[in-house]
Chain A
Amino acid sequence: NAGVTQTPKFRVLKTGQSMTLLCAQDMNHEYMYWYRQDPGMGLRLIHYSVGEGTTAKGEVPDGYNVSRLKKQNFLLGLESAAPSQTSVYFCASSPPSRRYTDTQYFGPGTRLTVL
């Protein structure tokens, strides 16, 4: 099993350009998440999904959109990139649990620089 994979690993954009980050998991997990990591701020949740076809906003959703058309994939889009979106982006997935927050398994991250 590959676990959680992210594409691409690195990307440099110019301000105003758009891009899509792809997250794929092969663990048959229901829940998927996108985080950004900035120095001194830990990880902050951007958007998440509790199942195919459903998405919800996290802590810092502005400037991002997401889609979950297939259970195994979770896409993060930047329509018009801004320098403030320079960050490391992590995708994670977890199995479903109605009672508690289950363990999240993370991808290797995507380092995005917006000039």
Chain B
Amino acid sequence: DAGVIQSPRHEVTEMGQEVTLRCKPISGHNSLFWYRQTMMRGLELLIYFNNNVPIDDSGMPEDRFSAKMPNASFSTLKIQPSEPRDSAVYFCASSLTLGTGKSGYTFGSGTRLTVV
């Protein structure tokens, strides 16, 4: 099992540009989560999907952020336009069901975004 795959691993972009982060969840997992990690706020949930449907996007900081899950094997997180304060590590995670169960979610390696 390849685990949760995120791309790119690193992204450096100029302020105002559009950024798209990609995630491939573990095959068979029905729930997908996007988290952002910063020094100030730690790991915070941005949005999550269940069976490809967005369930709760209340963690998305602004309208500049959007996420899609067109099928069970792919999700994107888009920032348009990007700003320096969006610089963070963005993690995608997936789980078999929505509940955390005993073993929680499986995380990808993250995308380190730097907006200059």
A and B bound? no
Which positions in A face B, CB cutoff 8 Å? Answer: none
